[in-house]
Amino acid sequence: MSAVNRATLAQSLSVSLPVGAYGIAFGAAGVAAGFSVLQSCLISLLIFSGASQFALVGVMGSGGSALSATATASLLGTRNLLYGLQMAPVLRSRRLKKVIAAQLTIDESTGVAISLEKSGSPAMAQGFWYTGIGVYIFWNLFTLIGALGAQAMGDPAAFGLDSAVPAAFLGLIWPRLSGGRERALAVSALALALVLTPYVPAGVPIISTALLAVLFGLRGRVWR
């Protein structure tokens, strides 16, 4: 293995292990929301996109319908479509390899690949595969551990799981709240969801805030 390979592998591991360990929070959240251990594990294996998974169990756990949960989770998954657009010319995968590449297209695999842009397409592809496979293995392993742990605990509130889940969401969005527009959007979405909660079916207050994202995105200049 060349020096470039080792450096890429090290970078991929340094991303995939901590991110994968985060799967423990998802496994626990799934069971706390009322999903079985098997269902929580299947969600990680099949959906394999953190924010969408948390949204699915979060919306259904708070009483939302399958439709509003699926719509919310899918809106969070549109990000991966854009990542695929960026990665396709780099990976040039066909058939089965393209199917696997698609499933591994998430924040982290794309992020590591883009960070290697200066090293050329082969290094980017390597970063994508190492990180994607690494996160897939660790994320699913830790989902199982988290789900079994939560199942053993029983009452979620007695162990503070009812706070651990929103705290985990907050940890997910915190790094994105870098600018004024992002922070204003977060506060507006929080307020809108609470104002709507008493009046509309569960799940609707959450997906309604996607409109706020569109409004905030259309307003003013665009920074890339």
**Helical segments of the chain, H only:** 3-21, 23-32, 37-46, 50-61, 66-91, 95-103, 107-115, 121-153, 161-173, 180-196, 204-218
Closest approach of Cβ 6 to other proteins, in Å? 26
Of 6 and 18, the one with the shorter C-beta distance to other proteins is 18
Closest approach of Cβ 19 to other proteins, in Å? 10
How far, in Å, CA of 219 to CA of 224, rounded?
14
User: How many angstroms separate the Cα of 25 from the Cα of each of 11, 53, 60, 64?
Assistant: 23, 11, 17, 21
Compute the half-sphere exposure of residue 63: CA atoms within 13 Å on the CB side of its CA: 7
Of 1 and 222, the one with the shorter C-beta distance to other proteins is 222
State the virtual CA torsion across 10, 13, 15, 21 in degrees, nearest 10: -150
Closest approach of Cβ 224 to other proteins, in Å? 6
Of 61 and 127, the one with the shorter C-beta distance to other proteins is 61
Closest approach of Cβ 116 to other proteins, in Å? 19
Closest approach of Cβ 50 to other proteins, in Å? 10
Of 93 and 115, the one with the shorter C-beta distance to other proteins is 93
Of 137 and 187, the one with the shorter C-beta distance to other proteins is 187
